[in-house]
Amino acid sequence: MADVRLSINQDFMDDLSSKTGINKPADLTKDALTFYSWVISEVKKGRVLVTVDENGENPRKVVTETLKRAKLIS
């Protein structure tokens, strides 16, 4: 297992913690990286990440530079 050390703004972490109920930074980071790994695997399969409102309307495509690059790497 890799040991990762990050310097992240405390206010940012506190905000994420209050929005998710996850209080341990290690747990929050693990969850975030697990989700991002899944998103990358979906993009590599030719899928796109889209969010919609609670009624299934107003779709918005999620695009980041990392996802663009991941799509190009075989």
Query: Residues 29, 39: contact at Cβ < 8 Å?
Result: no
Average pLDDT over every residue of 7-21: 95
- In this prediction the pTM is 0.80
pLDDT of 19 reads 96
pLDDT of 56 reads 96
Angle (nearest 5°) at CA 12 between 15 and 41: 95
Residues 6+ apart with CB under 8 A from 49: 39, 42, 43, 61, 62, 67
Instruction: Calculate what percentage of the chain has a pLDDT beyond 90.
Output: 86
- What are the domain boundaries of the chain? 10-72
d(CA 20, CA 73): 32
Strands 60-62 and 49-51, sheet pairing: antiparallel
pLDDT at 3 over 90: no
pLDDT at 74 over 70: no
